[in-house]
C-alpha cells in the first residue's frame, strides 16, 4: 500500500502492528507490510473530514519538486482512512530514520526539538549534540521550513518542542509532525486547535491559529534553538550559545526576538529570520530618484502578506 494517489482507504483493509505513539487526539499504529503509519482519531465525531481531505488534496496538486520538498519537511497526511461514512484517521509516512535515536534499553525514540533546546541530560546522552555552527543551521532550517509552509498557503498552529524533529546528518534538517493540525489559510481545521504549554502566543487565545500566531512561535523556535534555553520569551534577554552567531547575526536575531513581543501584525516573518540567521546580510542599495506610487496594502486573510505562492498543478477539489 502506497496511499500516494490520495484516494480514501477503508479502515477494514488495514492490518495494524504495534502502537508507536499516542496523543490527546489520536493513536498512531504501524501498518503491517509497509512503511506507513496510521493515525486513528479517538473521537471521530469531532473530526472535519472535509478539512482533512483538503490537506491531502494540497499535496496531490503540488508539482513533483514541491511535493518532494513537502515529504522531506513533514509527515503529511497521504490519504484519509474511512469507515461507515466517517473519517477515522489518515495514513502518513514514518519519520526519517536519521531522526531517531536508541535508548540504553533499546527503545527507539524520535529526535524531538526538546533535545536541541535543553541542556543535555545523561538519560539522552546518545543524542549527538550540534556544534555552534550546526545549531545556527538548524535554526535557519526551521524558519525556512515555516516560511515554505506559509508560502504554500498554510497555517501551522501548534509549533512546539514535541512536533519538530531534527538531524545533523547528512546535513542539518528538520521535519514536522502532527501535520493534520495544519490548515489552509481561510479554511476550517481538522480538529480543535491543539496547544502546548509554554509555546502559546500571549496575545491570542490558545485556540487561535493564524499566520501571526505562527510568527510569534517562529520567534520562540529560533530564539530557543540559538540560546539553548527552553523557556526564554520575546522581551527577555536572549544570549546565543557562544560561537553560534557572528556579530551581525546576533544583532539581527536579538532585534527580531524583541520585535516578536510586540502587537499582533508587527511580529517578524520567517523571511526576516532567514536573513538574520543566514550567511549574508542585507545589502542596502541607493536607488535613483524614485517615482511616487500609491500605497497599496497587500494584507490578506490571517495576517499573511502578499508573496509569490508555490504553484499547484491544478485546483484543490
Select from 211, 210, 177, 170 the least CA-distant residue to 193: 210
Residue 311 has pLDDT above 90, yes or no: no
Residue 310 has pLDDT above 90, yes or no: no
Q: CA-to-CA distance for 269 and 218, rounded, in angstroms?
A: 8
Give the tens place of pLDDT for each residue, 128-185: 999 999 999 999 999 999 999 999 999 999 999 999 999 999 999 999 999 999 999 9
Mean pLDDT across 32-48: 94
Select from 111, 100, 120, 166 the least CA-distant residue to 139: 166
Instruction: Enumerate the β-bridge partners of residue 242.
Output: none
Which residues are within 8 A (CB) of 227 and not within 5 positions of it... i.e. 6 or more apart? 238, 239, 240, 241
Residue 292 has pLDDT above 90, yes or no: no
Residue 305 has pLDDT above 80, yes or no: no
Which pLDDT does position 106 carry in this prediction?
85
Residue 289 has pLDDT above 80, yes or no: no
Under the banding of pLDDT at 50, 70 and 90, the label for residue 107 is confident
Give the tens place of pLDDT for each residue, 275-286: 999 987 544 334
Residue 297 has pLDDT above 50, yes or no: no
Select from 167, 171, 150, 168 the least CA-distant residue to 159: 150
Mean pLDDT across 66-87: 97
Which pLDDT does position 288 carry in this prediction?
42
State percent of the chain over pLDDT 90: 77
Mean pLDDT across 2-29: 91
Q: CA-to-CA distance for 157 and 155, rounded, in angstroms?
A: 6
Bridge-based pairing state of the strands 79-83 and 86-93: antiparallel
Average pLDDT, the chain: 89
Q: CA-to-CA distance for 98 and 111, rounded, in angstroms?
A: 9
State percent of the chain over pLDDT 70: 88
Which pLDDT does position 127 carry in this prediction?
93
Residue-wise burial string across 70-106, b where 16 or more C-beta atoms lie within 10 A, e elsewhere: bbebbbbbbbbbbeeeebbbbbbbbbbeebebeeeee
Model pTM greater than 0.75? yes
Is residue 238 within 8 Å of residue 223, measured between CB atoms? yes
Q: Worst-scoring range by mean pLDDT, 26-40, 232-246, 284-298?
A: 284-298
Which pLDDT does position 57 carry in this prediction?
97
Residue 294 has pLDDT above 50, yes or no: no
Mean pLDDT across 110-123: 94
Amino acid at each position: 500500500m502506497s496511499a500516494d494517489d490520495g484516494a480514501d482507504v477503508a479502515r477494514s483493509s488495514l492490518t495494524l502492528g504495534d502502537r508507536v505513539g499516542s496523543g490527546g487526539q489520536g493513536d498512531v499504529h504501524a501498518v503491517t507490510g509497509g512503511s506507513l503509519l496510521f493515525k486513528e482519531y479517538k473521537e471521530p465525531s469531532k473530526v472535519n473530514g472535509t478539512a482533512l481531505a483538503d490537506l491531502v488534496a494540497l499535496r496531490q496538486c503540488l508539482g513533483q519538486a514541491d511535493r518532494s520538498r513537502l515529504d522531506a519537511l513533514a509527515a503529511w497526511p497521504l490519504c484519509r482512512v474511512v469507515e461507515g461514512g466517517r473519517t477515522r484517521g489518515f495514513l502518513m509516512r514514518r519519520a526519517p530514520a536519521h531522526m531517531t535515536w536508541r535508548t540504553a534499553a533499546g527503545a527507539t525514540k524520535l529526535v524531538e526539538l526538546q533535545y536541541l533546546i535543553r541542556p543535555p541530560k545523561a538519560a539522552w546522552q546518545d543524542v549527538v549534540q550540534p556544534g555552534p555552527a550546526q545549531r545556527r543551521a538548524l535554526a535557519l532550517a526551521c524558519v525556512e521550513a515555516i516560511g515554505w509552509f506559509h508560502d504554500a498557503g498554510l497555517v501551522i498552529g501548534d509549533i512546539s518542542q514535541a512536533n519538530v524533529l531534527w538531524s545533523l546528518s547528512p546535513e542539518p534538517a528538520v521535519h514536522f509532525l502532527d501535520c493534520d493540525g495544519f490548515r489552509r489559510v481561510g479554511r476550517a481545521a481538522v480538529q480543535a486547535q491543539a496547544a502546548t504549554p509554554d509555546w502559546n502566543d500571549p496575545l491570542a487565545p490558545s485556540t487561535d491559529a493564524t499566520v501571526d500566531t505562527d510568527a510569534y512561535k517562529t520567534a520562540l523556535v529560533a530564539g530557543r534553538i540559538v540560546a539553548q534555553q527552553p523557556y526564554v520569551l520575546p522581551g527577555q534577554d536572549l544570549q546565543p550559545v557562544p560561537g553560534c552567531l557572528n556579530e551581525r547575526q546576533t544583532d539581527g536575531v536579538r532585534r527580531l526576538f524583541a520585535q516578536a513581543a510586540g502587537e499582533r501584525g508587527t511580529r517578524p516573518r520567517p523571511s526576516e529570520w532567514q536573513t538574520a540567521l543566514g550567511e549574508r546580510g542585507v545589502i542596502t542599495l541607493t536607488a535613483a530618484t524614485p517615482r511616487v506610487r500609491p500605497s497599496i496594502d497587500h494584507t490578506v486573510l490571517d495576517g499573511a502578506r502578499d508573496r509569490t505562492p508555490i504553484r499547484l498543478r491544478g485546483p484543490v477539489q
